[in-house]
Structure 1
Amino acid sequence: MGTFLQARRAHRAVAVAADQSAAAAGDLWNAIVGAGSEPLAGSFAEAVQDTAPVEHAALLASDDVAAAYAFERLWACLPALPPRASPFELRGVARERWAAFDAQARRTEHLAGGFGWDVSAAWTHARDVELAHGDLHQVERIARLAGRMYAALRGARASRVHGVPAEVYSVEQGNDVSRLLPAEQVLLMEPVLETVVLERIASRRAAQYAVQGEAKKSKGPLVIALDESGSMHAARNEWAKAATVALCRVAFDEKRPVAVVHYSTSAVVQAIKPGDTEAVLRMVRHFLGGGTAIGLALGMAVQQVRQLAQRGHQGADIILVTDGVDGDQAAQEAALREGLALGVRLWTVAIECEVAETSPLRAKAAQYVRLGGAELAKGESVSLCVFRRT
């Protein structure tokens, strides 16, 4: 934790307060972070120190961004204090401010956990949303859903066997060498028994993992096309943004590049890199509104695939999220032809709408999933969008 002088240099709220009264500001800062000498008896700083929530003591002592947030809220109430407020009155005011801090701390914990941020980044971005008069409650809801989705995706990957490109659910007989059980693989290494195992493989009697689904063995880039038309509001938008956060986190774990195409009747491309917390927040809060132009979005997504391939990132997947069809099938067909020529796999997620079986968005998709309203609040629903189910 920095000293008061360091906080004065690093945080505008502390600097402004120090210009008004350096002694009072220093006492309040030290009371918040639990440093320095005891505050003056009967002072507001003493009331702040006495009522400071124990459960946040470690946070306040170790994270100066959180401490600066508390300082700004507590300092702001000084002008409204009665001229000769009693210690009881001062403690009452301090408790109210600490209650507000506690609520913010819990929201920030959800941001950190759901988005995979460290505590300082979560506090900083929570403050950014407030300063921009944004909806922090919505960002928190997205973070909490994203956290559940990320856990679901990591759990799904944990159920897979290394080298087997699908989800294992049993054991069967067959001739797929890539899915042989370890016991069979060991026997293949024994010269005396190798012929026996090869014979079982040839006759489709070798013991192998039974899998359901298909998944790409290579882990190429991920391009996510997000519908931000006017109808993609509330739960639909929150699901789409949470899914994008969760998929980004998994992609970053696997060293996969990610690009997001925000689209309505226009399209905006955003690259998101590991550790770029500001980019994640911009993606979550971005919303275009207006109509829908899926062909345009797919064209932009394919362009991103091509650019990523030029930088050595091959085998991209495109995940298209939409809650409606725009009717411009020709533009969709053209974009998909270009994408398929590049080896792109399309994953279409229809939110509270049904895409016709004859539509290229469904007919040419490696995976098509329709999500209803009840599924939009479930973290497990994201798994449907990246794993084929039988």
Structure 2
Amino acid sequence: MIDACLIETDAYDRDARAKALTGPAVETLCEKGARVTPHFRALLEDLFAICFKLRVRVREGGPRSAALNRRILSAVLQADGIDELRASSALDPVRAASGAMGIARAALQELKKGEALTDEELLDQAALAHAEGKLGELDELARSLPDEPGADSMRRRIERERERQQEQVDDLASRVDRAMEDLPFLERRVTQATARAADALEEEEEAARAFTEKMGVSSSGSAAERLELAEKLRGNDKLRKLANLAGAFRRDALAARKKRVRRASSEVHKVGRGAELSRLLPAELSAFVDPRRKLDFLRRMAERDLAEYELVGADRGGRGPMVICVDASGSMNGPRELWAKAVSLALLEVARRQNRCVEAIVFAGREARLERFSLLDGKKNRGGRRVPQLPSLLDFATCFPGGGTDFEKPISAAVEVLESAKMKGGDIVFVTDGEAPIREGFAEDIKWLQKKHDFTIYGVLIDDPSVAAKRPAPGAVRPEIERAARELRKITDRITTVHRLTSGAVKDLFERI
């Protein structure tokens, strides 16, 4: 394989490069670049080396098909802003990778315009790279032949083929060299991208810091994770809006739960029958010390037929997993999707403080695949609390399949999560703005599983904010919402209908869960 890298690197540089230049964003950019020029990944790696290394040395030689890379690297090294860029990114793999991707992206955009090089000239580059690869294979084959008289015939055949291949390489290389003689548009674009790169690094780093802080996750991830975050935030207003909304909702959720600190988690509700000694009525306790009634007391205790206080409270005390099902059908697009995901992230912070696992399920129609994200798994920090996973959070935040609405499939998947958990007392939060039928047999199965595994299902129905704003009767709901609520009541323990997309609309949910 041809080594098209033109910047000298050592083992430390290559290790940092391998850790930073990975992930979906890098692979996507390299795939796009490979369709235009044959050595685009090598160009990206060289740009990383320029940004990362304290001392840059361009190696002599290299494949002739890398002539375009050499011109781009030369323009970068002569750009006015290169010293500032290198000063801010040296020995920082994330900054170096981000700066390299910015310059490589600008070069690729200019090449795609067709003004710097024509399609025919770009094809000549690809053909030259292929021919050089064939030449290398022939050299490797010649070296592998045994030093025996019987191999002389094969060696001569290889030499003849090599001469023919070398002529093709020379012809293509001369055409490529002529195309490289004058590239003013490309060099100007690369120079401008280099000059802007240092300021862009500061802006991206500040945006990433604000995002992780508002989302409640650590900013000290791997180099690849931090680079992926910077790339996803680049020009993505949706993620920035979600981060702002989630930060506010997290504060409101935690404030709503603070009111439970100074009161008991349960209170006397009524008198019932049982055998819990701490809740027995005084009249029953007196029977235990009366010799004439003691035997009857013990019999009724064995039968759990003693009069006792029954307690009820908002805090169920369960610490089983939390599964959040978010509707991503077409009607949820826009403010409702952002609100639903902001509520989900606020619940994630509540669950983190309760040290519970959290899984999010994004659903749409019956034919659409369920998208599942483990937001809080078994990984814990030094304090023993579970740590939100940034890659999963980003995937969850950007996932929106669209389509119709189906209730049964996501509910079944959520129940499977709770069934597989070792702890009881889990919660399912089901957020939707649509309607879908729930079969009676399915509802009966879910209710039976609820009793068996002791979990609660909370439904959150989002009414259309635009319709709600014009509705004359306070508290009135649309017929579609009424039908959806009627279906969800078959399986849920509590339903909250939301008419205003604020955190206060689900304050009761934040308190109870």
TM bin, normalised by shorter chain, reads: 0.5 to 0.7
Pairing 1:340–2:450 present: yes
Pairing 1:370–2:480 present: no
Residue 150 of structure 1 is aligned with which of 245, 250, 275? Answer: 250
Structure 1 counterpart of 2:52: 29
Residue 162 of structure 1 deviates from its aligned partner by 6.5
Judging changes above 3 Å, is the alpha-carbon distance between structure 1 residues 25 and 145 closer, same or farther for their aligned structure 2 residues?
closer
Residue 294 of structure 1 deviates from its aligned partner by 1.3
Contact 2:459-2:488 at 8 Å conserved across structures: yes
Residue 216 of structure 1 deviates from its aligned partner by 1.9
Structure 1 counterpart of 2:401: 288
Q: Partners of 1:84 and 1:305 in 2: how far apart?
A: 62
| Count of residue pairs brought into register by the alignment | 326
Cα deviation digits, residues 271-303 of structure 1 (max 9, x gap): 432443322222223333222221333233223
Structure 1 counterpart of 2:94: 65
Structure 2 counterpart of 1:189: none
Residue 256 of structure 1 deviates from its aligned partner by 0.7
Residue 65 of structure 1 deviates from its aligned partner by 1.5
Structure 1 counterpart of 2:414: 301
Structure 1 counterpart of 2:461: 350
Residue 315 of structure 1 is aligned with which of 415, 425, 430? Answer: 425
Equivalence map 1:247-258=2 (5 Å): 247-258=347-358
Contact 2:320-2:425 at 8 Å conserved across structures: yes
Q: Partners of 2:336 and 2:424 in 1: how far apart?
A: 31
Structure 2 counterpart of 1:116: 216
Structure 1 window deviating more from structure 2 (273-282 vs 15-24): it is 15-24
| Normalised TM-score (structure 1) | 0.65
Structure 2 counterpart of 1:195: none
Contact 2:52-2:93 at 8 Å conserved across structures: no
Judging changes above 3 Å, is the alpha-carbon distance between structure 1 residues 134 and 230 closer, same or farther for their aligned structure 2 residues?
farther
Q: Partners of 2:183 and 2:80 in 1: how far apart?
A: 16
Structure 1 counterpart of 2:511: 387
Residue 319 of structure 1 deviates from its aligned partner by 0.7
Stretches of structure 1 lacking an aligned partner (at least 5 in a row): 167-173, 177-211
Residue 323 of structure 1 deviates from its aligned partner by 0.4
Structure 1 window deviating more from structure 2 (9-18 vs 261-270): it is 9-18
Cα deviation digits, residues 145-171 of structure 1 (max 9, x gap): 2222222222333343167338xxxxx
Structure 2 counterpart of 1:198: none
Judging changes above 3 Å, is the alpha-carbon distance between structure 1 residues 135 and 359 closer, same or farther for their aligned structure 2 residues?
farther
Residue 16 of structure 2 is aligned with which of 7, 17, 20? Answer: 7
Judging changes above 3 Å, is the alpha-carbon distance between structure 1 residues 52 and 351 closer, same or farther for their aligned structure 2 residues?
farther
Question: Identity of paired residues, percent?
Answer: 19
Residue 328 of structure 1 is aligned with which of 438, 441, 448? Answer: 438
The residue type paired with residue 346 of structure 1 is I
The residue type paired with residue 347 of structure 1 is Y
Residue 350 of structure 1 deviates from its aligned partner by 0.6
- Alpha-carbon RMSD across the aligned residues, in angstroms, is 4.7
The residue type paired with residue 315 of structure 1 is G
Residue 123 of structure 1 deviates from its aligned partner by 7.4
Residue 349 of structure 1 deviates from its aligned partner by 0.6
Judging changes above 3 Å, is the alpha-carbon distance between structure 1 residues 296 and 6 closer, same or farther for their aligned structure 2 residues?
closer
Cα deviation digits, residues 222-259 of structure 1 (max 9, x gap): 12122122212122222222222332233133221223
What SS does the aligned partner of 2:248 have?
A: helix
Residue 388 of structure 1 deviates from its aligned partner by 5.1
What SS does the aligned partner of 1:238 have?
A: helix
Residue 239 of structure 1 is aligned with which of 311, 333, 339? Answer: 339
Judging changes above 3 Å, is the alpha-carbon distance between structure 1 residues 117 and 71 closer, same or farther for their aligned structure 2 residues?
farther
Q: Partners of 1:127 and 1:152 in 2: how far apart?
A: 30
Structure 2 counterpart of 1:141: 241
What SS does the aligned partner of 1:223 have?
A: strand
Cα deviation digits, residues 73-132 of structure 1 (max 9, x gap): 2466579899899xxx99965443344444433432233123333335497457547979
Stretches of structure 2 lacking an aligned partner (at least 5 in a row): 1-10, 31-38, 57-75, 111-115, 117-181, 270-311, 378-386, 465-476
Q: Partners of 2:441 and 2:333 in 1: how far apart?
A: 25
Structure with max Cα Rg: 2
Residue 67 of structure 1 deviates from its aligned partner by 3.1
Structure 1 window deviating more from structure 2 (150-159 vs 120-129): it is 120-129
Residue 217 of structure 1 deviates from its aligned partner by 2.0
| Normalised TM-score (structure 2) | 0.51
Q: Partners of 1:106 and 1:315 in 2: how far apart?
A: 40
The residue type paired with residue 287 of structure 1 is F
Contact 2:204-2:230 at 8 Å conserved across structures: no
What SS does the aligned partner of 1:289 have?
A: coil
What SS does the aligned partner of 2:511 have?
A: coil
Judging changes above 3 Å, is the alpha-carbon distance between structure 1 residues 61 and 241 closer, same or farther for their aligned structure 2 residues?
farther
Q: Partners of 1:220 and 1:25 in 2: how far apart?
A: 46
Residue 346 of structure 1 deviates from its aligned partner by 1.7
